[in-house]
Amino acid sequence: RKVQILEVLGASGFKDVKKTVGEEGRLIDFNELELRIQKDIFEREEIIPAFKHLNEQLIAETDAGLLQAPKYSELKERVVPLSVPHWFYQLSETNQTVYQRDHVWPGWVIETMGRMAAGDLQMAYLKTVTGTGLLGDGFDVMRILYQRDPDNIAEDELDSINTAVMLDKGLILNAPWMFGGKSVGSIGLDTWRAHVLAVKRLGIQYDTGEGGYPTCFFLNRKGEPIFFTEPDMQEIKSYFEHGRHYTVREIRETISRNGFSAESHPRMFRALEPYPELQPFLFYVVIDSEHEPFISTELKTGLFGVTRETIKKARRVVIAYSQGAKMGIGGHILAQKVNKLVAYLRGVEGLEELNLEVIQSLAERIERLEKQADHPLHEVAEKFYEDIIKSQDSGTILPELKTALWHIQQHAYALHSENALDPIEFENLMQLCEDVISHSYSSIISPFPFHNCYSIEDVKSFIDMVRMINPRAVVSVKVSPSVDIEFIAAGLARISRDITLEALQARERLPAGTGDSALESAEEYAKKYGLKIEIWLDGPRGGTGASPNIIKGQMGMHIEYAIPLIHHRLVKDGLRNHVNFFVSGGIRTYEDVIKAVALGADGVIWGTAPLVAIGCDRNRNCHDGCSRGIATSNLIMQNLRDVEKNAQQITNAFLILQMQIIRALAGLGLRDIRRLRGRFDKIQWLGLKERVDFRRRQIREYRERYSEIADKLHPTGQSNCGVAAVIGTEPVPSYILDRALFAMKNRGMDGVGVGKTLCFPDYPEHYAYSIMVRGLLQNEVEEMLATSNGRDVRRHAREKLLAYRNRLAEAIRTVFLEPVFDFTGETSAEKVREWRKRDAEGNERDYREFGNEHTDPGDIYRFFVRVKEPVLHQFIEEQVLSSERYRYIREYFPEVTPANYREHARFLQKAEDLYVF
Ligand code: SF4
């Protein structure tokens, strides 16, 4: 339980449980959320025409590029029949129950994916598919409202339906999906390569996760790489063949033959020095140049393995703001899965360790060889025995030990190649030499609070950096669904829009005939130099078995809520087509894709499904190795994989999935996946409306029954509201402040600021302007007096202090507030001071009776103010209606001009909010 609490704290960015006090604003109120979604979105069908209009606009912008996307009949032809990846379907009923424990991926959903992976074309018919799991809510209780039977539609008609979508910079996805980040280490190299081969065949993207960009390696039999640098590898890779073994000598000779020498490329030759000449290495290509257009990379604050080169190479760069299934603690890989290859890719170093047991065995073995004068290794054993003993005695790795190991292996390999050494003896000796020095690694983690960026400005800096290094990369920002996710999404969309506007403005400033003169239209120019961010919403139900359950199940907003909120917010703010919006987190079947898009996404991202397609049965041991050789860095376990077959299984599964989507679209009466976006009228969320209406009725009845009592409990006047202060250099819309105030309610009053809420029903139109005045402190005044003792000193000091603070408050009012504000109600400091807690006789209590004795809380003076009319008008004319800073406000009020603004009450109200806050 403690670990779970730590995980939740970490994911929420808390360093100490005490800091959670008063942070109820971070809790997601699902009742309120459901109310909003049901009443503000689903029951307002009049907003659908606006959604449809935006979909048509999107199609008009991107249609031309999608003409090459494969048709239904072509997809069918590419499917290759194979064996199924799992066999548990044949288990008895009793054993099947094991597979029903995973509510996201129960056995029958795994079986569906397995049959698709096997290329069973019957699975293209929707009646054969089990489309939902056992969640009992969300996607699993939504129904798709078909207009006609999707299984009874002619292939000709299916051929005319489009599932392709276009991302920024002309990047086309043949289907409305991509594969999400799984780093090398979290899954094995063979599984990785299977994904790479599959995404090329499918015409989609796969992202490296936070584990670096795996291109190609020379691997020893333990899977450890020669430490060539990535640029060096790129220079020499074309001289070697994937899947072949090369000795160190062969590697050296090959690169020398091709113009590399120890003088021209010393670093390259130095990398080979630690290895015996005849040691063989497997050349393994994970991502070749032909695959690069289909690979994205992922950037987090840990920057593990991400370099300028990998960003340059990537067609799409994901900036991971946070991660849904491991919110706040994502991007980590536990120590037991970190090996030399993983460490190499992530650019971290391990510690060399002398294995004392192995060196003991090695010393005994070498001693035996030394005593056998006729043994082919006698000479080398005699020469290096002392060095081994020296290291053993000191318990440390001496340089002599490394030299000894190199020579022993060198001789053994030479003898082995001439069949002059018993093969078993050779194997044993090699094993000992390789195991004497091991490496220990710690878990690799981008820990909170560094894992997440904290502000839109931070993300903007990342985006600028990526665009500077690789202007043709699609920029994706991965966010998890926190309580304020719709505003984060709107902020990201605003970045897209502003960058595009800036590009267009720059174009206008170009002298005629300069710049990119081939781009005649503003649209073309905006596409090339502007930005359309991809928002990747990573929800909590996804993740492999490495993700903590508590977070997968309980943290963050499930995507069925987050998608409509984000889509609606983006449409409302006029920003929807400035971004592409993809979601992940528990997407398993074609039904989930249809539902996610109908709720407002452009497409989805798959993490677990491709693993299920190659044999994962969700036994959830991914953090600790994997009995199927999938989520493992152990090369021996990876022998269970067959890369080519796995690549085709993934390809089959997703081709058939695409065919299912086409059938579903046809059944819905749509010819293009892009027309489904935001069409919540095409699905039905069973039980949502009933739940929401029931709760509303309950609340109404409760209020009616208890309103009298509530009035007595809370007589008019200030409730216990807190005060929000937002400080920044960027304009903050007032609705965000309203929400901030709302979120901070009931925190207690100990600050200074301005509020305009319903806390003060007597002054609903006024701003409550509260000032905390301290100057001198109670303790200081008491020390100054120090004449008598006990309560008298306190009382006396308090009187003096109050007189002093009242004077200060009056001065603040007259100097700072009166020139710009009209006041209502009392204004004398004495009368507007807020009383502290009182005792039974109504006397104010000393703060030390209820607070920290060293922290004098000061005194609060509250005025009710409105901005003076001339001041407000001057502010509107000089700032709101003319400065760059307030351009976004003008977009909300396109009809307002300097000539007519006095007649627009809502605008005046907004301007006054802006002025005051
Ligand atoms: S089989 Fe088990 S350990 Fe392997 S990837 Fe699947 S859930 Fe993880």
3-state SS string over 610-636? HHHHCCCCCCCCCECECCCCCCCCCHH
CA distance 250 to 443: 36
Determine which residue's CA is closest to atom 8 belonging to ligand 1.
622
* Helical pair 48-62 and 559-572, crossing angle rounded to 10 deg: 80
* Residue 20, both tokens: 């959670």
By C-alpha distance, which of 607, 610, 587, 611 is closest to 599?
587
By C-alpha distance, which of 671, 657, 605, 650 is closest to 76?
657
- Counting ligand 1 atoms within 8 A of each CB, the residue from 621, 633, 638 with the most, and so the one to mutate, is 621
Q: Would you say the CB of residue 545 lies under 6 angstroms from ligand 1?
A: yes
Q: Are 667 and 147 in contact (CB under 8 A)?
A: yes
**Distance from Cα 205 to the centre of ligand 1, integer Å:** 22
Q: What is the pLDDT of residue 727?
A: 52
Q: Which of ligand 1's atoms lies nearest the C-alpha of 631?
A: 5
**Distance from Cα 632 to the centre of ligand 1, integer Å:** 9
- How long a stretch of residues is the chain? 917
Taking the CA atoms of 816, 817, 819 and 820 in sequence, report the sign of the dihedral they define: positive
CA distance 71 to 658: 10
Q: Which of ligand 1's atoms lies nearest the C-alpha of 620?
A: 7
Q: Which of ligand 1's atoms lies nearest the C-alpha of 618?
A: 7
* Residue 644, both tokens: 């080519």
Q: What is the pLDDT of residue 332?
A: 59
Q: Would you say the CB of residue 86 lies under 6 angstroms from ligand 1?
A: no
129: helix, strand or coil? coil
Residue 658: in which H helix or E strand, if any? helix 643-668
Burial class (CB in 10 A: 0-12, 13-18, 19+), 589: buried
> Residues 391-429: pLDDT tens digits?
999 999 999 999 999 999 999 999 998 999 999 999 999
Q: How many CA atoms lie within 13 A of 176 on its CB side?
A: 34
Instruction: Provide the β-strand partners of residue 264.
Output: none
- Counting ligand 1 atoms within 8 A of each CB, the residue from 190, 549, 626 with the most, and so the one to mutate, is 626
Interacting residues of 276 by C-beta distance below 8 A, sequence separation 6+? 248, 406, 409, 410, 413
* Residue 162, both tokens: 């489009």
* Residue 460, both tokens: 């903007």
Q: Would you say the CB of residue 628 lies under 6 angstroms from ligand 1?
A: yes
Q: Would you say the CB of residue 305 lies under 6 angstroms from ligand 1?
A: no
SS3 letters for 231-250?
Answer: HHHHHHHHHCCCCCEEEHHH
Q: Are 838 and 845 in contact (CB under 8 A)?
A: yes
> In terms of DSSP bridges, do strands 821-824 and 767-773 run parallel, antiparallel, or are they unpaired?
unpaired
- Boundaries of every domain in the chain: 1-213+293-333+443-510+518-713, 351-440, 724-777+805-867
CA distance 778 to 795: 10
> Residues 102-138: pLDDT tens digits?
888 888 899 999 999 999 999 999 999 988 888 888 8
- Counting ligand 1 atoms within 8 A of each CB, the residue from 608, 622, 637 with the most, and so the one to mutate, is 622
Determine which residue's CA is closest to atom 1 belonging to ligand 1.
616
584: helix, strand or coil? strand
Interacting residues of 466 by C-beta distance below 8 A, sequence separation 6+? 299, 311, 317, 319, 473, 475
CA distance 138 to 670: 24
CA distance 481 to 327: 9
Q: Would you say the CB of residue 104 lies under 6 angstroms from ligand 1?
A: no
Task: Write the DSSP symbol of residue 46.
Answer: G
Q: Would you say the CB of residue 624 lies under 6 angstroms from ligand 1?
A: no
**Distance from Cα 629 to the centre of ligand 1, integer Å:** 8
Q: Which of ligand 1's atoms lies nearest the C-alpha of 612?
A: 6
CA-to-CA dists, residue 288 to 193, 230, 510, angstroms: 10, 13, 40
CA distance 177 to 194: 17
| CATH code, 1-213+293-333+443-510+518-713 | 3.20.20.70
Q: Are 295 and 262 in contact (CB under 8 A)?
A: no
Q: Would you say the CB of residue 291 lies under 6 angstroms from ligand 1?
A: no
Phi and psi of 259, rounded to 5°? 95, 10
SS3 letters for 453-516?
Answer: CCCHHHHHHHHHHHHHHCCCCEEEEEECCCCCHHHHHHHHHHHHHHHHHHHHHHHHHCCCCCCC
**Distance from Cα 620 to the centre of ligand 1, integer Å:** 5
**pLDDT < 50: residue spans in the chain:** 328, 447-453, 714-724, 744-751
- Counting ligand 1 atoms within 8 A of each CB, the residue from 182, 190, 549, 619 with the most, and so the one to mutate, is 619
